[in-house]
Amino acid sequence: MAYVTYQDGGGHVASEVESSVKVGAVVKIISLFGFVVILLVFLFVRKVFLKPGVSSVSITDGIGGLEFRIPYKNTLYENFGFVQDPRVTIPLKTTSGYKDTTFLLDSGAVVSTMPLQVAHDTGVDLARAKRITLQGFSGVPSFAYLDEITVMIGDSEYVLPASFTESSSTTHILGRKGLFDDFTIKFDHEDRAIIITRKDA
Amino acid sequence: MQHNNVYERIHNALSWKRIIAFNAILFLVTVIPLSVRLAQEDTENRSSAAEIPVVIPPAAYPTTAPEIERVTEWFGKKGDTVVILGKSFGNYQWESTLYIGNVEVNESNIVRWSNNILEVQIPEQARTGKVWIVVNNRQATWEGSLLLTDVSRSAQIILARTSDTSGTVSIRNGAGIVRGMIEIAHVSEPLVISSNIGKITSSLSVDSLGKKTKAEFVLDQPMGSATSQILTIEYPGIGVVEILRAELYDNAGRLVPVYADPLGAKMN
């Protein structure tokens, strides 16, 4: 009986030791993949609670008053990596009034360019416009027609030269001619923003 | 006892140093692909933009005679660009000469010269007339005439869709026109052209750029200045149908200047 009692007492002590060893081993195994757990928690929290921040394009007047704040996306080019893709939405004058239109602000483009249909919407007579050719990536030229568009920036109308192209891949592009004459445009890479300030008259 | 041994072995084998080292390795392995993935989330992909074109080294004159297949557009104002499509123009101009509207084109008016495509501005001195090229003393002449147009005094030709498989050709401001020819490029066939205001004959041909059907018509009576529908087109509804060329004549046999609005010369 005494032997049995000794065994019981000894078993209790042994069980306590075994429990702490078990817990320690389990904690260590979990810790072994602790980074993965932290990572999964981070991704979950980021997806549910932390919406990705958006960069913005700001258009300001001469004294810095904000007129527009428009988000834009990064673009991953196959050969150039990540490039900020500044798109601005401004009213474009059409035959049925001003319509908000999103343009890619392209300091590398000589002149604003948009699809042929926009000429119809803005009342441009293509038959009177000068016809030029643009080079497509396939090497086959496509025609473009030179005329003008009217856009509203802030509360002022601006007439910009524009080309209307037959190319199906054309998007709405704001180029340098006209726009860069009246505005100072600062590409702030650090703040991921483009500041467009009207030049003093 | 067996279980105890397993737990004890794990407990003893996994020191905290080893656990931290293992997590550090996991971090290093995953940080790069994870960063790329996160960066791509707000990114659209675009490929092959602004690639630099391949420069083809100079070659000799082509061994075969030049051939002009199409001139597009068939009309224009002085200073407008026309594209001449064909074969064996040579990769470079060298001593080759090009004539637009009966006038030799200066080097300054040539936008691009390649073996199959020429882009040329209509010279100031040009007038309605032929287009031809001379390459290495061999000449090719386009069968049509390039029309110098003034929009306010020219007829307008309009191609309009009426259903998925049909369209019409109309003439606006075409007073006095009694006959003519309209050439239409198309992808699918048959392309059937008919007219209920005169006699019409059509013929199909194929060049290296695709099919084209030429319709020659004689009207029962001279056209008025209002918009008149002259042709009806039926086709399978597949591919682009586009006016390639038009030549219209009045009752004195004079060529009438005609133009097309880019949005009214094609059915997509």
Q: What is the percent of chain B where pLDDT is above 90?
A: 61
Q: How close B233 comes to chain A (CA, Å)?
A: 23
For residue range B136-174, what is the model confidence (pLDDT) as tens digits? 999 999 999 999 998 888 999 999 999 999 999 999 999
A82 CB neighbour count, 10 Å cutoff: 12
Q: Rounded to an integer, what distance in angstroms lies between the CA atom of residue B155 and that of residue A84?
A: 48
- d(CA B138, nearest CA chain A) in Å: 25
Total-model pTM:
0.70
According to the model, what pLDDT value does residue A52 have?
A: 46
B160 reaches A (C-beta below 8 A): no
The distance between the two most distant Cα atoms of chain A, rounded to a whole number of Å, is 117
Q: Which ranges of chain A have pLDDT less than 50?
A: 1-11, 52-55, 201
Taking only the tens place, the pLDDT of each residue in A176-195 is 898 888 787 777 777 777 77
pLDDT classification of B26: cutoffs 50, 70, 90: confident
In the predicted structure, residue B225 carries a pLDDT above the cut 90: no
pLDDT band per the 50, 70, 90 thresholds, residue B42: low
CA distance A143 to chain B (A): 8
Inter-chain CB proximity A74 and B42 less than 8 Å: yes
Write the residue in B14, B41, B156 that is nearest to A28 by C-beta. B14
Percent of chain B's residues with pLDDT above 70: 91
8 Å CB contact of A141 and B119: yes
Q: Which domains are present in chain B?
A: 2-40 (no CATH), 67-148 (2.60.40.10), 154-267 (2.60.40.680)
- How much is the pLDDT for A86? 80
Contact B151 A125 (CB under 8 A): yes
- What is the per-residue pLDDT for B7? 82
* Best mutation target, A19, A20, A22, to test chain B (most B CBs within 10 A): A22
Instruction: State the Rg of chain B over Cα.
Output: 32
By mean pLDDT, which of A62-71, B25-34, B175-184 is the weakest?
A: A62-71
Tell me whether A22 touches chain B (CB under 8 Å).
yes
Give the residue with greater pLDDT, B41 vs B238.
B238
* pLDDT (mean) for B236-241: 92
Mutate to test the interface with B, among A45, A82, A131 (most CBs of B within 10 A): A131
Characterize the bridge pairing of strands B258-259 and B155-163.
parallel
- pLDDT number for residue A42: 86
Answer whether A137 sits within 8 Å of B48, measured CB to CB: yes
B interface test, pick of A32, A75, A146, A170 with most B CB neighbours within 10 Å: A32
**Hey, is the C-beta of A16 within 8 angstroms of any chain B C-beta?**
no
Tell me the shortest Cα–Cα distance from B38 to chain A, in angstroms.
10
CA-derived radius of gyration, chain A: 32
Report CB contact under 8 Å: B47, A78.
yes
Quote the minimal CA–CA distance from B115 to chain A in Å: 12
Q: Which two three-digit tokens encode residue B142?
A: 């386009």
- Give the pLDDT confidence of A152-162 residue by residue, as tens digits: 887 788 899 99
Kindly state whether B240 is in contact with chain A, defined as any CB-CB distance less than 8 angstroms.
no
Q: Which residue of A has its CA nearest to B52?
A: A137
Contacts of A95 in chain B (CB under 8 A): none
HSE-CB of A183 using CA atoms within 13 angstroms: 26
Provide the β-strand partners of residue A91: A100
Chain A residue nearest residue B262, CA to CA? A126
pLDDT value at B268 more than 90:
no
A39 vs B: CB within 8 A: yes
Query: In the prediction, which pLDDT does A156 show?
Result: 81
Model pLDDT, residue B49: 47
Contacts of B184 (CB under 8 A, 6+ apart): B191, B193, B212, B213, B214, B215, B233, B241, B242, B243, B244
Residue A107 confidence (pLDDT) = 83
